[in-house]
Amino acid sequence: MEGWWSQSPETSFTETQMAPPDRSSYSEFYRRSIEDPDGFWGEQAALIDWQTRPARICDDSNPPFTRWFVGGTTNLCHNAVDRHLAARAGQPALICVSSETDSERVYTFRQLHDEVQRAAAMLQTLGVNKGDRVLIYMPMIAEAAFAMLACARIGAVHSVVFGGFASVSLASRIEDAQPTVIVSADAGSRAGKVVPYKPLLDEAIRLSTHKPAAVLLVDRGLAPMERTAGRDHDWAALSGQHAGVQVPCEWLQATDISYTIYTSGTTGRPKGVQRDVGGYAVALAASMKHIFLCEPGETYFSTSDIGWVVGHSYIVYGPLIAGMATIMYEGLPIRPDPGVWWSLVEKYRVSAMFSAPTAVRVLKKQDPAFLKKYDLSSLKALFLAGEPLDEPTARWISEGLDVPIIDNYWQTESGWPILTIANGVERQASKFGSPGVPMYGYKVKILHESTGEELTRPNEKGVVVIEGPTPPGFMQTVWRDDERFVNTYWKSIPGRLVYSTFDWGIRDEDGYYYILGRTDDVINVAGHRLGTREIEESISSHPNVAEVAVVGVADPLKGQVAMAFVVARDTSALADEASKLRLEGEIMKQVDEQLGAIARPARVRFVTLLPKTRSGKLLRRAIQAVCEGRDAGDLTTIEDPSALQQIRELLAG
């Protein structure tokens, strides 16, 4: 390829390609990223291929919107696939393993290149043009990655929706993204049980006022599919028509949109986190080197799902951009036995692994001998993120694997770690309980939640915020809603234009941060972020629900679980324990059907009134405290204290 900074992947990740940062000191590396962002990120930009050189590195002339690598043109798919053909066409790129269907398939970079071009041609045939949206609602199969990369190739905006979401969740995302095409499959599979997708998709399309022009369906032969004539197309059949097709990469502006991904917040309406092309590519390439210690030709294994941001950044784009093989795994960590992940580490010589604390807590309940059964000598580190990493879990896995355990804190919005240890720059100690220190490019501060004053003394608790300009890879805005982006994220602290993470935190005397939970109504179940409002809305639509409050309650395995407290309309439905259980089951089933099983509350309990302030605001935090056996805090504004007493008695009973 002709173009500026074009280089072979062999050399692009070596230190000689970079103006030598002071490798002896992370603090110096960090300082430069903050004081000289243009110089710093201009150098990092050499980690990827560009077609046209950016005219400007960082444009923050319109805060809080930051534009990176303005005037540069590049392509994520080129950087993830095509660019590696020269040096590693025959090397594994995508390794798809399903312990659900007992299948394993390895695609080399050459084969991936072919498949992605076919997928791109299919999308084009179905009417997808640059800038159009393609919604991907799929299980963890190769075609999901082909579809994502195909979108990136032709400049379509993908919006992957987690396969565990059900029709109402999916419908709201279809409504917002307005996709030209939806790519899906007959079914996923979980714990050996087939989970049909197509009926949920059909129902979601029925519920949405926006209708896609076409639906492209992978038939895995797991569940029968009803097809809508003229709209539904078969992946295998259409792909067959495009054998050997060549679809060149569309050179996109660095500031064009690569994808949107929906995430929960304080309202019931999910936000479409929008990301760019060039900044994202550079941020991922830099993180693979400085944080994840990766080299081309190695294998990366992230156990996440393509429906989450980790799946975007560290199953699909990050490892491939770095010229690595990436493992895409469908299944549980304990099936067929609790050694399944470690067997993959041995077989594919995995060098970096990325998972979530909940998965480790699941493994911790199994026979520890499984950790010792396989040769894990290729593994350099295990990275964990998505929820707080508790010390016993960290210690158990660290001793079991005998590799460093690297906690990293980030959000869907950031796209890559905000806090961790950049061991690729300088080896530094991790501290149990702390994800680490601010990553290069992130101006992290702790502010007082109501005065906006910066809290500089060690261990003072406040809101963790990020000052602009936000680094490359960070969300550009909320899809089609700049106002919501500014008002939701940047105006929550009085008098300050700063990005709020909506997490409480402290910083210790050594500069290490500790995350102490959310400041908003978001809960974190097994590393998955859920909005309590979304769950409340689903429960409220049950005919016998007058009022509901959902709170997140600490859980030893999942971190948090959702607990629902419901005031029933017809109390005769609560005459005895059996009827209460029946109604509880009905409500849970409804959440399953509307939002998906991940949003299902652990329990639905019935009360005659909910704790509220005199102005009618639900006291969710007080309910949560009571559920966790803590002091309910300041209750001077409560309308009727007996409401909390009822919950106490219910739980005691």
User: What does the binding site for ligand AMP look like in residue numbers (CB under 6 A)?
Assistant: 263, 309, 385-389, 407-412, 435, 501, 503, 515, 518, 524, 529
Shortest gap between Cβ of 259 and ligand AMP (angstroms)?
15
Residue placing its CB nearer to ligand AMP in the complex, 317 or 348? 317
Nearer to ligand AMP, 297 or 386 (CB): 386
Burial (CB < 10 A; 0-12, 13-18, 19+), residue 366, is middle
- Angle between helix axes 37-44 and 278-290 (nearest 10 degrees) is 80
What minimum distance in Å lies between the beta carbon of 68 and ligand AMP?
21
Q: How far is the CB of 514 from ligand AMP (least distance, A)?
A: 9
- Is cis: bond before 469, omega within 30 of 0? yes
Q: Give the nearest distance from C-beta 446 to ligand AMP in angstroms.
A: 14
Task: Report the SS3 class of residue 525.
Answer: strand
Task: Kindly tell me which of 123 and 466 has the beta carbon lying closer to ligand AMP.
Answer: 466
Which tokens go with 594? 């509307």
Q: Shortest distance, CB of residue 405 to ligand AMP, whole angstroms?
A: 11
Angstrom distances, CA of residue 293 to CA of 6, 42, 95, 324, 433: 22, 21, 20, 12, 22
**Minimum distance of ligand AMP from residue 546's CB (angstroms):** 31
Let me know: does 523 contact 532? Beta carbons within 8 Å: yes
Nearer to ligand AMP, 421 or 568 (CB): 421
d(Cα 59, Cα 68) in Å, to the nearest integer? 6
Identify which of residues 354 and 409 has a Cβ nearer to ligand AMP in the complex.
409
| Length in residues, the chain | 653
> Which residue shows structure tokens 């990655």?
145
Determine the residue with CB nearest ligand AMP: 529
Question: CA angle, 127 as apex, 123 and 130 as ends, to 5°?
Answer: 75
Residue 642, number of CB atoms within 10 A of its CB: 13
* Between 227 and 484, CB nearer to ligand AMP: 484
> φ and ψ at 370, to 5 degrees?
-65, -25
- Give the other-Cβ count within 10 Å of 342's Cβ: 23
The minimum distance between CB 422 and ligand AMP, in angstroms, equals 15
Place of tokens 């100690």: 429
Q: Please, what is the minimum distance in Å from the beta carbon of residue 37 to ligand AMP?
A: 24
Which residue type occupies 439? M
Q: What residues pair up with 638 in beta bridges, in sequence order?
A: 613
Pick between residue 496 and residue 518 the one whose CB is nearest to ligand AMP.
518
User: How many whole angstroms separate alpha carbon 423 and alpha carbon 289?
Assistant: 9
Tell how far CA 539 is from the center of its chain: 25
Contacts of 222 (CB under 8 A, 6+ apart): 101, 186, 187, 189, 194, 196
Supply the DSSP symbol for 317. I
Residue 50 or 489: which CB sits closer to ligand AMP? 489
For residue 315, which amino acid is it? Answer: I
Name the residue nearer to ligand AMP (CB basis): 239 or 393.
Answer: 393
Smallest gap from residue 620 Cβ to ligand AMP (A): 16
153 or 528, CB closer to ligand AMP?
Answer: 528
Shortest distance (Å) from residue 385 CB to ligand AMP: 5
